[in-house]
Structure 1
Amino acid sequence: MVAGFMFLWAMFQQYFPHQLRGPLEKYGHQLKSLVYPYIQITFHEYGGERFKRSDVFTAIDSYLTVNSSKSAKRLRADMGENAKSLILCMDDHEEVADEFDGVKLWWSSKKTIPKPQPFSYFSAPEEKRFYKLTFHKRHRDLITGRYLNHVLEQGKAVRMRNRQRKLYTNNKKAVWSHVVFDHPATFETLAMDPQKKKEIVDDLITFSKAKDHYSMIGKAWKRGYLLYGPPGTVSQSL
């Protein structure tokens, strides 16, 4: 049956008049939507701003990197931003299943390779990557609401944990450069009065949970600390 279908499709592509393909494909998609019980949502790597990667795509990519490495059969290896550990994520044209509140859904990684134009004065168009989410139509409200919000929040949290801190400087040629900031000091190793240290840590924990409050009152969600002491101690700003 598959071989017969592929043969008929090849004949259709080669001999069917091009002017009639558009209406036929349009009605074919409409007929498919009546009997196909699944919904698909596509998330492209680049949106309207071609040179800016989509924040939604980036969050989904981080989420799937954590949740797909155990179930995907085809993986892509990368050193990641901090270059300290090997990161495995699903490769192109791979599909993995996910589950949320007892509902099963599927993520697939796609890539389109444009055909090169002969005798063109312009550079060849770049590959376009995107993720496609497939789920049953009866779970539409759950997936488009709570599930996608869950994916975006988890993906952003993963990026925050793995992000690389950098120190920037401006050299004589007015070009900004950076070095990786990898300081071994932590609150546990910080020489400080225990009670004062506890107050700062408690304040940081409270502040980290108050993003919605700061957004509601219209203030920037930022916090800074300046630690100072008598001569012979090291001053730090947090």
Structure 2
Amino acid sequence: MFGKNLTTIGSNMAGLFFVWSTLKRYFPRQIQQLLFNAIQRIPIFKKLSDKIFHLFSPYAHIRFSEIEEYRYNYAYAAVKTYLGAKVNSEVKNLKGNQVKENTSLDLKRDDVKIEEEYEGVKMWWEIFRCVKGKKICRLTFHRSNWDVVTGSYLSYVVEEGKSIKARKKKLSVFMNNPSLRWKTNMKGLWTCIDFEHPATFDTLAMDIDKKDEILSDLVAFRDGKEYYDRIGKAWKRGYLLYGPPGTGKSTMIAAMANLMKYNIYDLELTSIGSNWELKKLLINTTSKSIIVIEDIDCSLDLTGERNVKDVKGDEGKKSNAVTLSGLLNFIDGIWSACGQERILVFTTNHLGKLDQALIRRGRMDMHIELSYCTFGAFKILAKNYLNLDSHYLFGKIESLLKETKITPADVAENLMVKDRTEVDGSLKGLIRALERIKWSQKVKAEEQHNKEISQI
């Protein structure tokens, strides 16, 4: 077989040399070049020339694709970061980026071909997109330098790229695109923007003891790789946030992300067509991330019906095909262990509507109730909005908060002032709002009592 292939290659090469010598003999140099370029574009000749070049070329190539085997390639990200950071006075092509106003300009290298030298070894990087749209970084080097390149050099590049990315890391929030926009190369599942929410646990208005408990749990999770490996569990944790609207569930998620330095994936279940698509989205999230499903009771029928059948609506369209069973597998099935260091957060205004299998311990490891504003939460809001640690009206406010149900969001709205001269007016306005709520709640309670008496 080898002899037959060698004979074929030799015959083809002889034919090419004959044609080339004929062209040189009877055609001017410009015509020769045009004919040669035209012949090279013919698929069969191009394939043949590529094979010959590969057979005799002293160079080797290593390719880093952005998506490899349907999963994000972290080595590609590290290489791309490393190459972009190689900025000096000799670089001719740069691109500038300014994420926020009044911040320094971030310059990155914008060359598609970059020459590199490491321990006396020269090599070349190319950045391009292949035919299917995949982003690729390709390294070319002489075969004689194989040990240096595959040994210390690539390890250096990846580690340096990760270090640069960690120093410049900006958090992002992702949202899933409708499946109709997905492509076969896995691009287009998620859209992202920079995450710039300023919430922290210091500014979070909630009970101090409960806040400390959540903080300790998050830190223990972040530092718990060895623990999870030892007990044989996937390195992930679930948090269920529940309570009335306006009690700070979304703010809590933002504070979690800023504390942990994790990206947020905001998962909209109603735009997902099947359990299979849900798994596909899961495996395309990165480690060190928070996967959020807000108002989960409004996203699916999760009241306990396991065998959900397809139901046709008035317009003949199927209802959402993601089932409770599929969601349970998403949380702690086999596919849920395809990444590391992930947090899953559900929020709901109506805890009683959720199936107990969905929120049991082990799936939602920590249940966090975010309720109406307490005096402790009010003091944090007063510090945030008015820069006050104490005030003569605090006693009156504390007494009213014990007798009324008002959300932290409503309290914050009353505390928003333009300048310090309005502080007293702001607190008095809050007192008036609390008194109105107290009176309204008293009236409703009396009406309910009279209704119950009339039914006896």
TM-score by length of 2: 0.30
Q: CA deviation at 1:216?
A: 9.0
Q: Which residue of 2 aligns with 1:103?
A: 121
Larger radius of gyration: 2
Report the number of matched residues.
Answer: 176
* Cα distance in structure 1, aligned partners of 2:119 and 2:78: 20
Pick one of 121, 146, 150 that aligns with 1:144.
Answer: 150
Q: CA deviation at 1:96?
A: 2.0
Pick one of 92, 95, 98 that aligns with 1:79.
Answer: 98
Matched letter for residue 8 of structure 1:
L
Question: Is 1:162 matched with 2:168?
Answer: yes
* Cα distance in structure 2, aligned partners of 1:105 and 1:13: 27
Q: Which residue of 1 aligns with 2:51?
A: 30
The alignment partner of 2:68 has SS state of: coil
- The equivalences for 1:214-225 within 5 A come to none
* Cα distance in structure 1, aligned partners of 2:34 and 2:163: 48
Pick one of 29, 47, 69 that aligns with 1:48.
Answer: 69
Contact 1:60 1:152 (C-alpha < 8 Å) held by counterparts = yes
Q: Deviations over 1:14-39 (max 9, x none)?
A: 7x5x6xx1xx4444333213442222
Pick one of 61, 79, 83 that aligns with 1:64.
Answer: 83
* Cα distance in structure 1, aligned partners of 2:154 and 2:147: 10
* Cα distance in structure 2, aligned partners of 1:57 and 1:67: 16
Question: Is 1:12 matched with 2:64?
Answer: no
Contact 1:72 1:95 (C-alpha < 8 Å) held by counterparts = no
Matched letter for residue 146 of structure 1:
S
* Cα distance in structure 1, aligned partners of 2:195 and 2:167: 19
Instruction: Sort the Cα spacing of 1:47 and 1:86 in 2 relative to 1 into closer, same or farther, 3 A.
Output: farther
Contact 2:96 2:107 (C-alpha < 8 Å) held by counterparts = yes
Q: Which residue of 1 aligns with 2:324?
A: none
Give 1 or 2: higher helix fraction.
2
* Cα distance in structure 2, aligned partners of 1:28 and 1:136: 20
Q: CA deviation at 1:153?
A: 0.6
Give 1 or 2: higher strand fraction.
1
Contact 2:82 2:164 (C-alpha < 8 Å) held by counterparts = yes
Question: Is 1:91 matched with 2:118?
Answer: no
Q: CA deviation at 1:85?
A: 3.2
Matched letter for residue 180 of structure 1:
E
Matched letter for residue 196 of structure 2:
V
Q: CA deviation at 1:61?
A: 1.1
Q: Relative contact order, CA 8 A, sep 6+: which one is greater?
A: 1
* Cα distance in structure 1, aligned partners of 2:49 and 2:194: 55
* Cα distance in structure 2, aligned partners of 1:136 and 1:214: 44
* Cα distance in structure 1, aligned partners of 2:81 and 2:58: 29
The alignment partner of 2:152 has SS state of: helix
Q: Deviations over 1:96-142 (max 9, x none)?
A: 22222221212222235x6xxxxxxxxxx7x4432221111101121
Contact 2:171 2:194 (C-alpha < 8 Å) held by counterparts = no
* Structure 1 residues without counterparts, runs of 5 or longer: 115-124, 168-176, 185-207, 225-230
Contact 2:96 2:106 (C-alpha < 8 Å) held by counterparts = yes
Q: Deviations over 1:66-104 (max 9, x none)?
A: 224554322233336999433222325x32222222212
Question: Is 1:180 matched with 2:196?
Answer: yes
* Structure 2 residues without counterparts, runs of 5 or longer: 1-23, 174-192, 201-222, 236-258, 260-375, 381-456
For the aligned residues, what is the CA RMSD? 4.7
Contact 1:39 1:134 (C-alpha < 8 Å) held by counterparts = yes
* Cα distance in structure 1, aligned partners of 2:228 and 2:142: 35
* Cα distance in structure 1, aligned partners of 2:87 and 2:228: 33
Instruction: Sort the Cα spacing of 1:61 and 1:73 in 2 relative to 1 into closer, same or farther, 3 A.
Output: same
The alignment partner of 1:180 has SS state of: coil
Q: Percent identity?
A: 26
Instruction: Sort the Cα spacing of 1:6 and 1:102 in 2 relative to 1 into closer, same or farther, 3 A.
Output: same
